[in-house]
Amino acid sequence: MKFTNNIIGQLKEKESYIRNEVYRIFKNAIKDGVIYSKDTYKEVFVEILPEVPIMIGERRTKRADLVVYAQQFSEVKPRLVIETKQRALDQPGKSFANFSKKTKSYAEKLDAWHYVVYDGYYWFQFSRLEPYLIKGLTVEPEFQLSEEFAKTILLTVAEISYTSERRYFKQLDKYSLADKGFVKRKILPSLAKSFDPSKWNELLIRWETTIIT
């Protein structure tokens, strides 16, 4: 029994398990209906697709793990790119920095303004605009990863794109970032340097007041 439990635990740490769980939860949330409406603006989240092909250069094709689409007026657009990864206990900052750069490039190719890097524990949500990192959360598949969480994430993307209100954004505080000291020391510096080596310290200071609070 102990051996079986160990095998199950190891499999749940794999990237494929994490990606499948995120896909399942977000798919169910979208199927149930996720609509943001403010004044005359309306955004309806319509689909999440796995393994979306992205052209890199003339001949290379990469695939984004998950892409969420929404209808704005009469047009369906990519709104959120989600890349999943296995949790790296050795050099976690470098791992997140590499995945963040890759996911940002996917978001730019798809013209999606928001993207996420998730390792089954830390959920880092970014915008393509400075200061880039807008939210750090702790989300475990068996506990916090739920349809309610998925809906709040999507409504947050719509809200911060359209208005200065932060009603849905504040609801994410219930998924407060754990191990803040570890994140501050071991992850955020590498992330900041991956965006702009010339002003990474400025970014880090901003993140410490918005993410580590």
Quick: pLDDT tens for 29-67: 999 999 999 988 899 999 999 999 998 777 788 999 999
State how far the Cα of 85 lies from the Cα of 100, in Å rounded to an integer. 11
So what's the pLDDT on residue 8? 44
Tokens (6 digits) for 194: 């991956």
**Domains of the chain from N-terminus onward:** 2-210 (3.90.1570)
- CA 27 vs CA 32, 99, 151, 154: distances in Å: 9, 23, 10, 12
Secondary element (H or E) of residue 7: helix 2-12
So what's the pLDDT on residue 11? 47
- CA 62 vs CA 22, 54, 74, 86: distances in Å: 20, 5, 28, 18
Instruction: Report residue 152: phi and psi, to 5°.
Output: -65, -40
Does the structure show a pLDDT above 90 at 5?
Answer: no
- pLDDT band per the 50, 70, 90 thresholds, residue 73: confident
Among candidate residues 18, 157, 171, the one with its CA nearest the CA of residue 78: 157
- CA 177 vs CA 99, 139, 213: distances in Å: 19, 8, 9
Dihedral (Cα; 126, 127, 131, 135), 10-degree rounding: -40
So what's the pLDDT on residue 3? 44
- The pLDDT tens digits for 138-165 are 999 999 999 999 999 999 999 998 888 8
State how far the Cα of 100 lies from the Cα of 90, in Å rounded to an integer. 17
